[in-house]
Amino acid sequence: MDQKFLNWLLKLRNKPMNHIMIFITHLGTGAFIWLLFSLIFFIKGQKILTYRILLALVVNALVCNLTLKPLLKRRRPSWIDKIELLIKNPTDFSFPSGHSSSSFAAATTIFFQNQSLGTFCLILAGLIAFSRLYHFVHYPSDVLIGSFLGICMAQISRLLFNKYLLFLL
């Protein structure tokens, strides 16, 4: 079912959408957009929110990128089916999607603090996650589980922050 959905998505590709999806996926690369949000919050004096986002990204990276991906070793669809990619073919494993998990970890953290901005961020996280499917570098299950894990990592980091770090600030 994962493969059928990806093949269907390939048929929807067109030049304007390709450019948009390339831009969106790069927003999530290295958590760029979420680090940019953190910097803006820090400059605006919202240091606690900045620290919360950074903690969520670190917890997420430890669990998803440094533990689950190497442990589960799921091959990417772009490694199996040779199609023309619009972005560089990733070299790490596929499951769970790091773009999805980090995006939802940061966006959920922002949502906890500011629901209106957080709603925008959750929509952006969803677009970043979808872009990974569009680019044929993740299966839908990678993105769905990655998104769910990101939300869980936001909640875990929130609890950790409140219990162990909030009193330091």
Low-confidence ranges of the chain (pLDDT < 70): 169
Q: Is residue 3 part of a domain?
A: no
Q: Is residue 41 part of a domain?
A: yes
CA distance readout (Å), 162 to 48, 79, 81, 166: 11, 41, 45, 5
Question: How many domains in the chain?
Answer: 1
Say how many Å lie between the first and final Cα of the chain, rounded: 48
In this predicted structure, what is the pLDDT of residue 169? 63
In this predicted structure, what is the pLDDT of residue 131? 96
Q: How far apart are CA 110 and CA 107, in angstroms?
A: 5
Q: How far apart are CA 13 and CA 63, in angstroms?
A: 33
Domain span at residue 153?
A: 22-82+91-168
Please say whether the beta carbons of 77 and 123 come within 8 A.
no
In this structure, how many other beta carbons lie within 10 angstroms of the beta carbon of residue 118? 18
Q: How far apart are CA 69 and CA 95, in angstroms?
A: 6
Q: Is residue 161 part of a domain?
A: yes
Q: Is residue 15 part of a domain?
A: no
Q: Is residue 11 part of a domain?
A: no
Q: Is residue 6 part of a domain?
A: no
- DSSP symbol at 44: T
What pTM, to 2 d.p., does this model score?
Answer: 0.92
Q: Is residue 14 part of a domain?
A: no
Q: Is residue 33 part of a domain?
A: yes
Please say whether the beta carbons of 141 and 133 come within 8 A.
no
